[in-house]
Structure 1
């Protein structure tokens, strides 16, 4: 008759690596094999290479416990035990042997209880055997079954990581471990994603990217058996905006060229840059990414209109980052120093100090009780000759004369006004 059984335990036994053997508390383990063995004497014989009993010992019941079957873990003596309830009652003396894996072929250690000779209580479910945990479960399943094969280390790269270009990002592979405790000899890193572990070494190296990117880093760990393991982690490197240095107040005369340097820095040393300047007079300048903009960058601008301005200098990088500064600009007016020469009898010559390429508006009036200025026209340059009306200057009172028929007693007035260049 095939024996029926019931298995119960309490909590807290670990294997040779410190992991709980089987049961519900975290961390779960993949299971273990429990054998119930009959013996005719008081001698516990070791298992053979296949895990079978030897000598006069015979296997009465073998069970494999897996996660998910709600098997509670074992509890070490003196506070606990595990029990079997059997039907029908087995013959002879019994002891339990537990292997540290769910398959004997994978097991490397085992532990066992002492032979039970008492504590047998008959109840309605059958005969209850109380196995007090002694050799097995005090600290570990510490009887060597077979020499464990070397196991590769398990790598952990940590992460995910993030940082800014031009600033070091620190990595951490301290969660890597070696299952057979031979020890991890080295940590090598692939930071540039070229498949070669030649960019950094150590458990917590630092690495700096020179541009914005999203990439993968990998760590390779090697144990003292020469076995390796690898893992990877994501890295996001954000753009660092360029920083423009302050520009001091600038002064220049109307018609002169302003020259200054735009100085900036960027942690992204691989970035390219462009400069945009709003001159605060309706005019802008742009030096693009194709203009090989580098710091310091010399800027020149022809200042044609007198006034006080607040230009804005903005520096962009090719990843969309930008920063700006504002400075003050004083463009001093150029004195006109106008002179008038009479060219009798038909013309009047006007000469002034002009800004090259600038346009000027000319006005006249004849001195009277009420002065009304009339525009003659606009000229580029520094001179104008007024020839009067079609009949010239006749100086005859009451007759049509130059624009407003002056009398002999009136004086002709002129004014020259510079036009806005921008």
Structure 2
């Protein structure tokens, strides 16, 4: 979980791999399975024991077993994947008949405009068009890879099943792909719309949403673009159906919609695929074991997170969960006030599906759960299935929130379904959980993107589980001859009364044949950097491995890293180009080259002065200088710029600088006073003042009619800036006032 820093603070740290979990119910253990991953996003377990893990940048890695420490790069999709903000390689699943059917399926942000070829933008978005201004438009892609079961490497060309999911803005991209019990392939994706303000297609309409052509801004009441793409199955006959904000059910060999889908009779290929729609971002979903039910976590805007239930994914009923007209159970004022036909007809006609469960951003998910409130992003859904957990966990639903850094359990009720009145914290203090799933032994596994780890939650309870190896060295470096004392006594086993045996690779040749002591000693006589290996084995023959680096004949110190530009004094505006530059020196290597440096730009979105969550925006690898364009986001938020340098021995140093935005206070009034005005996502009575980041793009609406002076009905006549009743404005650098004017209704209004 990202933590807000004091304004202007620069910190220097030694890079490490922290534990991803801090607390569990009594009797459970949380163990590291795979570490050292670069922004892992999704994992899939194959029937033959292999583990496939995606990294956001576009790499698919394969581990032969859960104890394998040397993965194979199955596929490098970086040329066609856009790794930018929340975009990247985000989904993977394995054919149920693997390796007889040697197929692995991937879902990623395709770095190409609709109908175009990759790469279009690379892992950035220049200005113009600006990531959150006009947007760098891309698509989503779902593909099948053929993998050689012997080597774990993909062979032949990528077999593209679906390319669609027009995405104007850099979030709410592609998400989960998984097989259903019916053998069909299922996929979900977000709306690709603006996340800072209401979006009905008024910012260029590059996705060619009706009723106008691409490049023509849309306006109420007939706009059907932006977030309203999620309602596209309800468009008039003959208009194209978008896959944004939907869950689809397709043939895993062809990508075509399955027979029996709700819109199977449509002439539109996308409509044939859709089984559910009206979701903002169904990033993670799962089937309830033994059923055709889909349970989807739908990431909310600023108020509600949803868990949505599709009772039967194989029937001819298409559930519409109402976004952007609804969030949680309430209507969304920013869209309601615009009087959009797509929403008004839903309000009057009804028929949308309400969430099975939703939770409000300012509130705890469960009483006294100890998890942060405010920022929220539901990011994982999984069911208990065949685990060794206590009986009270049978058929329970687990769900995670990446912003709050927690996993909860919703225990099953008397009817066998998860009971929203029985929610408890399960794992707290997780470093950005982005996926939950059940794996070998029925245990719950989770991916922690922030710590680069796959972790496993087990309940020993009478069955043997793998031990965890922990090795230390003292000293870790120095001049030769260097005598080092090692210890494996920090190793542990989740099963009580288990004796561990030790095997060491002290010379770094890959063989655990140098010592069986728990605290061996070794002398290094030649200058070298050695990854010393430890393997621990329990009474049942299960093993765990780890390494610790020793640098003999070299200092082994961490590089000293400095960010020269920008400084903490910078106050950036949206769209501003910000140059950066840094240096790194090492006691052994001297000044480090650009190839040793990696930069990470992160947006910290805060709901209070002490509650922030991170969005990784952009990475710059192997450069000592460059520039980025300051993003658009609601206030309060700020940027973290981190520089990490790695020396020839693998030692790293890191420094981070906080960059605060330039802000402006804007006043919103009405004549007569007291009108309810909507600014962004908040509706309140005028006059009021709000703080914005200079240059940010925002939506304002003036609902009409309203009861104002002397309790009489008034109708809207115009804004002081000349904008329409619902319109966007760019926050100026200097304070300003926006007034909504009303007049007394002379007739019915």
Fold match, TM over 0.5?
Answer: no
Higher relative contact order (CA 8 A, sep 6+): 2
The structure richer in helix per residue is 2
Q: TM-score, normalised on structure 1? A: 0.29
* Larger radius of gyration between Structure 1 and Structure 2: 1
